[in-house]
Structure 1
Amino acid sequence: MDVQFPSHGTTRCETAEDTQAFGARLGACLEPGDLVILDGPLGAGKTTLTQGIAEGLGVSGRVSSPTFVIAREHPPRGQGPGLIHVDAYRLVGESGDPIGELDALDLETDLTEAVVVAEWGGGFVEQLSDSYLFVHLDRTMAVSQDPESEARIITWDRRSALL
C-alpha cells in the first residue's frame, strides 16, 4: 500500500457517498498484492466502501455484494491492479483454508497481481498476505446518537499476519 495513505486512523462518513469517496481515496493508494479485510455488521457499508475502492483502483464492472457468488473479479481498465471482491465467510466453508478455497475458485486473476477485498474476513483470510489493512465499519454509535443517521465510523489499521 502506498505510504501516502495513513497506516491507521478513524473517519466519520455521513452518507453512502462519503463512504464511497473515502473508499476511492483508499483504492487509489492500493497496490497489487494488497489485502483489505472489511469488518462490520450487516448494513454497515462494506460493499459501499468496496464500490469506492473499485473506483479508486479504476476497475471494470458493477460492484455488488459477493454473498451469492463468493468472489467477484473486476479487471483493471488501465495498467493498475484488478480487484477480487470476496465474501470470506462463505469462502472459508468447512475446510478452514481460504487459500485453498480461493485456488479452487479457479480465478483468472493471480492474487499477487490484484487487490483482494474480503468482507467478513477477520479471523479467516489474514494468511493470504504477510500484511493487510483491517477496516472496521460501525453504524451503531451514530445511529444511537441519531436514529435517522446514515453515518458510519470507519476505523482502519495496517496489521502484520506474522505477529
Structure 2
Amino acid sequence: MAALNLPTADATRAVGAALGRVLRAGDLVLLTGDLGAGKTTLTQGLADGLGVRGPITSPTFVIARIHPSLRGGPELVHVDAYRLGGITELDDLDLDTELEEAVTVVEWGHGLAEGLADDRLELTLSADPATEARTCEVATHGARWAGVDVRALLEPKGA
C-alpha cells in the first residue's frame, strides 16, 4: 500500500479523526515511527473522531491513559510502550481486560503488542526532519479489516 502524504500536523490530525470515526470497541491500533513522527498528533485526531475527553498528550511517563467517551461510544485507552522492557511489562498493564470495551492505541507497539489481538491496524509514520511533512503507511490484520479499504477511509479530503 502506498503511503498517505501528510504535509502538516493538521493533516495528520485529520487522518486520525477519520480513523476515529470508523473505529469501534475492541479495535487495536499500533503506531510506529521515530520520535516526532506524529504518533501522538495522529492520536489527538483519533480522539476527536471518537469523541473522547482530552486533552490527549503522550503517556510516556504514565504508560497508559484512559479517555472516557463524551458521546456514549467506546473509551480510548492510549498506551506508550516506549519505556516498557518487554511483553511481560505490557501484560502487567492488563490491557486485554479493556480490549473488548475500548479502542486501544499503542504507541511504540510494533514488536511488542501484536499479540493483544488478531484484528488490528498498524500505522507506521515517518517525518521529514526539516519540515512538518509526514507519511503514514497502513497495514491491516485479521477478519475485522479484511476487505476494508482503510486508505480510502483515511485519505485526506481534497487530496
Fold match (TM-score > 0.5): yes
Please list every run of 5 or more consecutive structure 1 residues that lacks an aligned counterpart in the other structure: 1-7
CA deviation profile, 1:92-145 (whole Å, cap 9, x unmatched): 435x23553222x8x9x83211001000000101111112100000114xx5xx
1:32 pairs with 2:20: no
Out of 123, 126, 133, the residue aligned to residue 114 of structure 2 is 126
1:30 offset after TM fit, Å? Answer: 0.4
For residue 97 of structure 1, give the secondary structure of its aligned residue in structure 2.
helix
1:157 pairs with 2:139: yes
Q: Is the 8 A contact 2:17 2:48 kept in 1?
A: yes
Q: Percent identity?
A: 51
Q: Is the 8 A contact 1:39 1:136 kept in 2?
A: yes
Corresponding residue for 2:124?
136
1:76 pairs with 2:76: no
1:22 offset after TM fit, Å? Answer: 0.6
CA deviation profile, 1:25-69 (whole Å, cap 9, x unmatched): 001000101000000000001000000000000001200001010
CA deviation profile, 1:74-104 (whole Å, cap 9, x unmatched): 00011211100001233x435x23553222x
- Evaluate the alpha carbon distance shift between residue 82 and residue 121 of structure 1 in structure 2; reply closer, same or farther with a 3 A threshold: same
One-letter identity of the residue aligned with 1:100: D
For residue 92 of structure 2, give the secondary structure of its aligned residue in structure 1.
helix
**Under a length normalisation based on structure 1, what TM-score does the superposition of the two structures give?**
0.80
Q: Is the 8 A contact 1:98 1:128 kept in 2?
A: no
For residue 158 of structure 1, give the secondary structure of its aligned residue in structure 2.
strand
One-letter identity of the residue aligned with 1:68: F
Q: What's the Cα RMSD here?
A: 2.0
**Under a length normalisation based on structure 2, what TM-score does the superposition of the two structures give?**
0.82
CA deviation profile, 1:1-23 (whole Å, cap 9, x unmatched): xxxxxxx6521111101100110
Equivalent-residue separation in structure 1 for 2:140 and 2:119 (angstroms): 7
For residue 82 of structure 2, give the secondary structure of its aligned residue in structure 1.
helix
Equivalent-residue separation in structure 1 for 2:61 and 2:46 (angstroms): 20
Matched residue count: 142
Please list every run of 5 or more consecutive structure 2 residues that lacks an aligned counterpart in the other structure: 143-159
Equivalent-residue separation in structure 2 for 1:98 and 1:29 (angstroms): 30
Displaced runs of 4+ in structure 1, greater than 4 A? none
